[in-house]
Amino acid sequence: MGRLTRVRLLVLSAAVAVCVCAIATTAQAQAEQGGWQPAFSGYFRAPLSVAIVNRPDPGNNPNNLSGTQLSFGPDRAVDGNYNSFAFTRVQETDWAEAYIHAQKKHVDGAVGWGGYWFQSVGYQRPFAQWMPGFAWVRLDSDFQAWGRTPNAAVQVGAFWPVFGYFPVYDTYTMGRIRQLGVRFDLTVPATSNLKITLTSGFGGNRNGFVSVGTVPVVGITNATTTALDVLTYANLAIDYRDTVHVGLHWNRSWTSDPGNAAGLPIGATFQDVKDAYLMVSAAELRVRHSRAGLLWVSPTYVQIKNGWALDPLGGVEVLHSQSGNFGTNYMGYTGTISNSTGSGKTFSVGFMYENTLGGVMGRGFGTRLPDLTLDVFGLLVDSTRDLTPGSNLQRNLTQFKWGTSLTLQTLTWLALMLRFDQVNNASPDLHDLGLAGNTFAMITPRLIITSHYGSSEMVYIQYTRYIFGDAFMAPQGAGLFIDGGPAANVVKVEATMSW
């Protein structure tokens, strides 16, 4: 164990001790308080996305006519895969989550449901996870120390701590921890304007896969079905009013469970499984000014070894990838270790800037209509792979996407948006990253209707025009674009709401 790792563990242990002691001092008082208060929260998006394509009808008949076809949008959109660097969120698919809370002072207990692929619409997907997916108890307590009133909290259960959320691309530059475990928070008001929050936690992710129609057996008799990936994380947040936010983050996931040795790739051993890990070191800076606008920047450094041994569907979600899938997206692992074991390191920078005409004029957004909002955003990812000797893959991979949008708020309930995106979606097997075929662009006008400005619900309709170079090549292994390539025109209508 390295010196830096020991220091991190000491910091985690200190935070845990403070949180547990503070909460224990008020446990009896909480037990004597009154009854529970119910609460309900959630979020959903429900889009219908239609790709408009013009190509020959299916079949081997050379006389088949060419005509217009309407297809399921995300399957024809080059940016429609959530677990891909090319994802822009313009063609996001359906998702819903809902939580039932029982609360009283310093206590929050909740059970939540979450999933995608709404089951009432056509064929069903058994793995869309509509069963209860979340459950936790969170206890917190105020206490006196250092002449201040800090707050300590502990949360235990199945939940997803989130750090470094990048909303325009719906991904995470620091990490979303998909865990069953425990989290500790210590919040200290250093001054009336300055707040410091230390977060630490550890947990596990169940790595396994069960065929539809079978009943998994959990326990020693079925060790190859369910294996444990271990997750640890720590985060330091410093907030000055609502003007400046600084975040420093670290997380690590690994495994030593023999269950992960089932179906080893040819040439791999269990020692390779025990050597596997994903480690993320990241930071973020958010600065907000009434006239200058909002600026957010987040650098991330990711190290991964033997990504094939980590769960590709859970654990730590970072940069459009979930744990082991990071080795597939950025390190060239494709199911065998002859070319890549899913090992290497990645450096990335995400950025976003937002300002409004009302803000620049000093009157605040929406105080006078019409008003304008400008957004500029992007994500650069540079990967260096540790390849298998004799591999024919390129060692370095650089990917970059950026975009800008302009939203005109014409009425309190009506807005018009125009968005542009460009993506360098270099396929891992392409050696010349300068090929025109590695890039595509998008232009998306959108009509937005809400009950009033700033409300948490909206419905909108949009049209996206994709622009491809003559030599465009779709990303390999995506399983998309049969019969002639991706769609150039996609229309979508969507409802979204949070409460």
Beta strand segments in 357-390, E:
371-387
Q: Long-range contacts of range 273-277, CB-CB < 8 Å, 24 or more positions apart?
A: 273/306, 273/309, 275/305, 275/306, 276/305, 276/306, 276/307, 276/308, 276/309, 276/310, 277/252, 277/253, 277/303, 277/304, 277/305, 277/306, 277/310
61: which 2 tokens?
A: 């008949």
* Whole-angstrom distance, CA of residue 196 vs CA of residue 190: 7
Residues 6 or more apart in contact with residue 394 via CB below 8 angstroms: 385, 428, 430, 431
- Residue 178, CA distances (Å) to 141, 157, 183 in order: 25, 11, 12
Tally: H helices and E strands in the chain: 6, 22
For 60, counting Cβ atoms within 10 Å of its Cβ (0-12 exposed, 13-18 middle, 19+ buried), the class is exposed
Q: Are 230 and 156 in contact (CB under 8 A)?
A: no
Residues 6 or more apart in contact with residue 6 via CB below 8 angstroms: none
Beta strand segments in 439-488, E:
439-449, 457-468
- Residue 120, CA distances (Å) to 47, 95, 117, 124, 458 in order: 14, 13, 9, 8, 22
Phi-psi region of 428 (alpha: psi -120 to 50; beta: other; left: phi over 0): alpha
* pTM, to two decimals: 0.86
- Looking at residue 220, what is its pLDDT? 42
* Whole-angstrom distance, CA of residue 59 vs CA of residue 55: 12
- Looking at residue 384, what is its pLDDT? 94
Cα dihedral 320/326/332/336 (nearest 10)? -130
- Looking at residue 311, what is its pLDDT? 86
- Looking at residue 31, what is its pLDDT? 47
**pLDDT tens string for the chain (499 positions)?**
455 544 454 445 555 444 445 444 444 454 445 689 999 999 999 999 999 987 767 665 666 666 788 888 888 888 888 888 989 999 999 999 999 999 999 999 999 998 888 888 877 776 666 678 899 999 999 999 888 999 999 999 999 999 999 999 999 999 999 999 999 999 999 999 999 999 999 999 887 655 545 555 444 444 446 788 999 999 999 999 999 999 999 999 999 888 777 778 888 888 998 999 999 999 999 999 999 999 999 999 999 999 988 888 889 999 999 988 999 899 988 888 888 999 999 999 999 999 999 999 988 877 888 999 999 999 999 999 999 888 888 888 889 999 999 999 999 999 999 999 999 876 545 544 444 446 889 999 999 999 987 789 999 999 999 998 765 665 544 445 555 578 899 999 999 999 9
345: which 2 tokens?
A: 């390191």
Minimal CA–CA distance to 169: which of 90, 53, 71, 286?
Answer: 90
Chain-centre distance of CA 278, in angstroms? 16
* Whole-angstrom distance, CA of residue 147 vs CA of residue 144: 7
- Looking at residue 3, what is its pLDDT? 52
Looking at the DSSP assignment, which residues form a beta bridge with residue 497? 44, 457
* Whole-angstrom distance, CA of residue 386 vs CA of residue 381: 16
Beta strand segments in 75-193, E:
95-104, 107-116, 132-142, 151-159, 162-166, 171-189
| 293-305 and 340-356 strand pairing | antiparallel
Q: Are 372 and 407 in contact (CB under 8 A)?
A: yes
- Residue 490, CA distances (Å) to 447, 465, 486 in order: 15, 7, 10
| 340-356 and 371-387 strand pairing | antiparallel
55: which 2 tokens?
A: 């190509």
- Looking at residue 434, what is its pLDDT? 43
Report the SS3 class of residue 310. coil
* Whole-angstrom distance, CA of residue 49 vs CA of residue 460: 12
Chain-centre distance of CA 455, in angstroms? 24
- Looking at residue 207, what is its pLDDT? 77
Chain-centre distance of CA 134, in angstroms? 17
